[in-house]
Structure 1
Amino acid sequence: MQVKAYGAQAGDRPLEPMQIERREPGPRDVEIEIAYCGVCHSDLHTARGEWGGTLYPCVPGHEIIGTVRSVGAEVSRFQVGQTVGVGCLVDSCGHCSSCKEDLENYCENGWTGTYNAPSAEAPGHTLGGYSQAIVVDQRFILEIRHPQEQLAAVAPLLCAGITTYSPLRHWNAGPGKKVGVVGIGGLGHMAIKIAHAMGAHVVAFTSTPAKRPDALALGADEAVVSREPEEVSAHAGSFDLIIDTVAASHDLDMYVNLLHRDGTLVLLGVPDQPHPTPDVGGLIFGRKTIAGSLIGGIAETQEMLDFCAEHGIVSDIEMIEMQQIDEAYDRMVRSDVRYRFVIDNASIGKVA
C-alpha cells in the first residue's frame, strides 16, 4: 500500500514529499497510523549523509506514536484503536544470546533499524516515521499509557528516553547515589528528569551559564558550569555515575576525576572526531570505568515508558509541521531547541 511521506533523495538536497510503499500486514504485523514523530539528531546526520552509508531515498524517524489501524490474524497483544509506539528497532535475529536476554539492541547478528536498514521490502531498506503509516511486527511495538494530551511529548521517549533510562537503570541510579548529567539537550534533559524521579542526587553540567536555571527547573539538585574550574573541582571524587550526552569530542579526564572510587562515566554521544585519550592512571587508581550504552531492548523500553507514565515524565518539545523539517534541522545544528522537535504527522496530508 502507498502512503505519503517526507524524505531525502540525496544528502545535499532538502527533504521533500514522496509516496512510499508499505507492506500489507502479515499474520504478526500491526499497521499503525502515525500521529507524531520525534526528530532525533540521528535523523539529521542520516538524511544529510553525514555519517556515510545512507540509503536513499531516506525517510527518517524512529520516535513514533500512533494508533493501531489493523492487526494480523496472529496478533494478540494489540487491538484496533489502541495507542502504541515504535522506537529505534523493528527487527532482530531473535535467537542470539543478547536477543534471548531481551537485549535486541545488542543483537549479535545485527538489529534492523526503523529506517536506513537493509530490508526485503521496497526500496530495499526500511523507511521511518516521517510518514502517514508504518507496518511493524508486534514484537517491536510498545504500549503507551500516558494520557492523550501528552502523546506528542511522549514521542521522544522512544529514543531520548530509553537512551538515558537504560544506563541509569543498569548502573543503579537511585536514592543515596550521586549522578552527573553532562549536556542539557535532547538526551540530557531526559536524563535529569529520569534520574531525579529515580531518587538520585542529580548534578547537571553545562557549558552555557544561561542553562543553569533550566537544569534546576528540570529536576537537577545542582547545576555546574563546566567552564568554571572552581565549580567543577568542588565535586571531585564524589560521583557514583556520570551520564555524558555530549556528541562532540571533549576531555573525559575532567569527568573521570569527578568519579568516586568504582564510579562509572557512561558515554552516549558518538563524536565525529575521537575523544582525546583519557589518562589511564585516573582509571587505575580509583578502579573507575568509562563505559558506553546504546538505546535499550524492547522490554526495557516498555519498562521506561511505564516508569515515565507513572511519574508524569515527558519530553519538553516544540511541535512543528512536516514542511518545517529542514528549518528544524538547521536549528538543531545551532542547538536552538528546548529540547526536542516533534512532527505533527497530520501535516503530511497537506502535501500535494
Structure 2
Amino acid sequence: MSMMTDNSTRRSAARRGISATLAMLPLLLGTTLAGHAADIDTSKRIRVAMVPKLVGLSVFKANEQGAVEAAKKLNIDFLYTGPVTASAQGQVDVFNSLIARRFNVITTTSNNPTQLAPALRRAMAQGIKVVSYDSDVAPDARNFFIQNTDYAEFGKALVESVAKYAGPNAKIAILSSTPDATIQNEWISALKKYMTATYPKMTIVTTQYGQSSPSQSLTAGLNILQANPDVTGIIAPDGAAEVGAAAAVEKLGLKGKVVVGGCSDPDSIRQYVKSGIIRETPLWDEVKEGELVMYVARLAADNAIQRNGTFDAGDLGSFTAKDGVIVFSKPLIFNADNIDQYHF
C-alpha cells in the first residue's frame, strides 16, 4: 500500500510539474510567443491613405483591392489617392494634403525616393506613421518598408523570363518606368549582376523608359525595336512597360523573333502570354500585398510592431521585420499553364 501511495504521489507531482512548465512557457519564450498569439486591437478606428505612383495602373488597383478588404477587418477608414501621372511632385502634393488632414498612416510606393522624403519626414514628425511598399523611399522617411520580393531572386527571374527563349547570346533591351524609380533600379541592378555571372555573352543594348504609361511604353517599345533590329528580348520590369513592349512586338509582327519578359499583373498581360509573345513573367500576388500593407499600417498606428521581430497578419501568416524591412513573397511565375488561375 505504501509503495502504491508513493507512486501515485510521484505521478501527481510530475503532472503538477508539467502543468507548471506549460503555464510558464509564455514567460520563458517572451515576446515571440506573445507576438504570435496576440490578437490585433481594432477597437480604435484609424485613418489610412494609400498613395500609389499614379492612379489607374492595374497593379496598384490590385493593391487597392486587397487593402479595401483588409481595411474592413481592421477598422480602418481607408482612402486611395494619388497623382494621375507618375510624378514625384504629384505625390508630394498628396502627402501635404494628408498631413493637413491628420491621417494616422500614409502608405506609398515611390516615384522618387529623395524628392518624397521631406514631406514624409514632416509627416513622421507630426506623429503620422509612414509605410512604404513596392518601391521604397529614403529609409529615414518611413517607419516600415514592405519589399515585394528578394531583389536578387527577382533579378534572376527577370533574366530567365527571356533567357530561356532568346538564348544565352541574346541582345536585350530594358524598358523600365522612370529613371528614378527605386524598385525598378534595384531590379535592374540585380538582373545585371545575375546576367553577367550566368550569361556573360548576353548584352544589354539600350535602356528606355515608358513613364509607367501604357501608351508611352508602346512608343518606347516601337522605338527600341525599330532602332535596334538585332534585339531578340525585352525585359520590362514595370506593369505598363511590359504591356507596351508586348504590344510593340505584336504591332511590328515580331512574335517568335522577340520575346518579352518583365512583370505585370495577369489581367493586363493575359492575351500576350496566351499568344506566346510573353512566355513567362514573375510577379507576386498584388492583392495579398495590399492586404499586408493594411496590416502593417494598423500595427504601426498602434505601436504594436517592432522594426526587428516577427508579427502575424491574419490569414496571410507570419512575417519578419528586419531593420524595418518586410519581404512579402518569393517571385510568382505566370505562364500559359497557370495564368488563368489569377485574376487581378
> TM tier, shorter chain?
0.3 to 0.5
Q: More strand per residue: 1 or 2? A: 1
Rg larger in structure: 2
**TM-score if structure 2 supplies the norm length?**
0.32
Q: More helix per residue: 1 or 2? A: 2
